[in-house]
Amino acid sequence: MSFYLEEYTFFLKSKKDLSAQTIDSYLCDIKQYIDFVQEKGISHVQLTSNASIISYMVYLEENAGSSSTIHRKLSSLRGYYNYLLLNRMIDKNPMVRLEPPKTQKRIPEILTHNEVELLLNQPDGEDARSIRDKAMLELLYATGMRVSELISLDINNINIEKKYLEKVGLASRKRTVPIPSRAFYHLEKYMYNSRIKLLGKKREEALFVNSHGKRMTRQGLWKILKQYKKKASINKDITPQTLRHSFAVHSVKRGIDICYIQKILGHSDISTTQKYNLY
């Protein structure tokens, strides 16, 4: 009775919007916390304090793994203490003004160099679509561009003479991105061959267009990437962002200056780029 777990269990089961699995998850989190404070010599929930929660948070950070798991466990505790306070089983809630740890953003799964080559080599035909797809994939990986940046490129963003992409990114943070030779070769091949065929008689400013001669969409690019992932038999969850992250990690491992990588990726804060050092 000192931690009112039976009462709280009854309360949870009375809530019709909670599944049995959710209730079990809540109770498992609460029991883990109770075991922790009891090991610290606390015999009654009334004796727990803000320090008890902080000590438990430190324990979780050292043992629970991801910050999302810690957030879930603290959310379970918050509901538990709210119930106790509402039913006057405690005098004050020790979780008030308690700041949970910040969620750490993980770098998504990346491709190996061999997997990148395998994926980029899938569009191997000489038809207009294959040449376009090859150019898009090569450019995505070679420049680390975001998918939104790629599909928003216009034909006048390409500086053919200097081999640069100009005015890439948000209006307030436009940047110039060099196009490596291999990607530039496939981009030129697309621009002077496939793009004209896909456009037909239509006029369109977009660099990359679909089979109807209109600007390529995000959904269209995702569908194309999914098609080539399947064709390459790569057992990883690949999105356009996967190529961006793979470019960044591979660049770091090649010893390219982190400030240069920051500039190419368009990060406003160097700390965002530095996370790739940890991969």
CATH number at residue 72: 1.10.150.130
pLDDT the model gives residue 16: 66
Residue pointed to by tokens 């948000």: 170
Q: Which of 86, 102, 126 is the last residue of a domain?
A: 86
pLDDT value for 170: 67
Q: In this structure, what CATH number is given to the domain that contains residue 223?
A: 1.10.443.10
Q: Are residues 257 and 166 in the same domain?
A: yes
- Tell me if residue 44 falls in helix, strand or coil: coil
Using pLDDT thresholds of 50, 70 and 90, give the confidence band for residue 150: very high
Do 16 and 132 lie in one domain? The reply is: no
**247 and 125 in a common domain:** yes
Other C-beta atoms closer than 10 Å to the C-beta of 191 total 18
pLDDT band at 64 (very low <50, low <70, confident <90, very high): low
Question: Does residue 266 lie in a domain region?
Answer: yes
Tokens of 59: 């324990």
Are residue 239 and residue 117 in the same domain, yes or no?
yes
135 and 256 inside one domain: yes
The pLDDT, as a whole number, for residue 100 is 61
CB 245 within 8 A of CB 112: no
81 and 131 belong to one structural domain: no
Do residues 124 and 256 share a domain? yes
Tell me the pLDDT of the chain averaged across its residues: 88
Are 119 and 51 found together in one domain? no
Q: How many domains does the chain have?
A: 2
Q: Is residue 183 part of a domain?
A: yes
| Chain segment 25-38, per-residue pLDDT in tens | 899 999 999 999 99
- Bridge partner residues of 165 (DSSP): 158, 177
Give the helix/strand (H/E) hosting 175.
strand 175-178
Residue 246 within any structural domain of the chain: yes
Taking only the tens place, the pLDDT of each residue in 188-229 is 999 999 999 999 988 999 999 999 999 999 899 999 999 999
Domain boundary among 51, 86, 121: 86
Task: Report the pLDDT averaged over residues 171-182.
Answer: 87
**Who wins on pLDDT, 16 or 130?**
130
Query: So what's the pLDDT on residue 201?
Result: 87
What CA–CA distance (Å, rounded) separates 235 from 278? 23
Tell me: do 171 and 220 sit in the same domain: yes
Amino acid at 205: E
pLDDT digits over 123-135, tens only?
999 999 999 999 9
- Which tokens belong to 145? 């561009």
Confidence bin at 45 (pLDDT 50/70/90): very high
- Alpha-carbon span 200 to 223, nearest angstrom: 23
User: pLDDT tier at 87 (50, 70, 90 boundaries)?
Assistant: very high
Give the global pTM.
Answer: 0.63
Amino acid identity, position 30: I
Per-residue pLDDT of 225-252, as tens digits, reads 999 999 999 998 888 889 999 999 999 9
Give yes or no: residues 260 and 129 share one domain: yes
The answer to whether residues 73 and 175 belong to one domain is no
Question: Does 148 share its domain with 250?
Answer: yes
Answer yes or no: is 108 within a domain. no
Domain of residue 250, residue span? 113-278
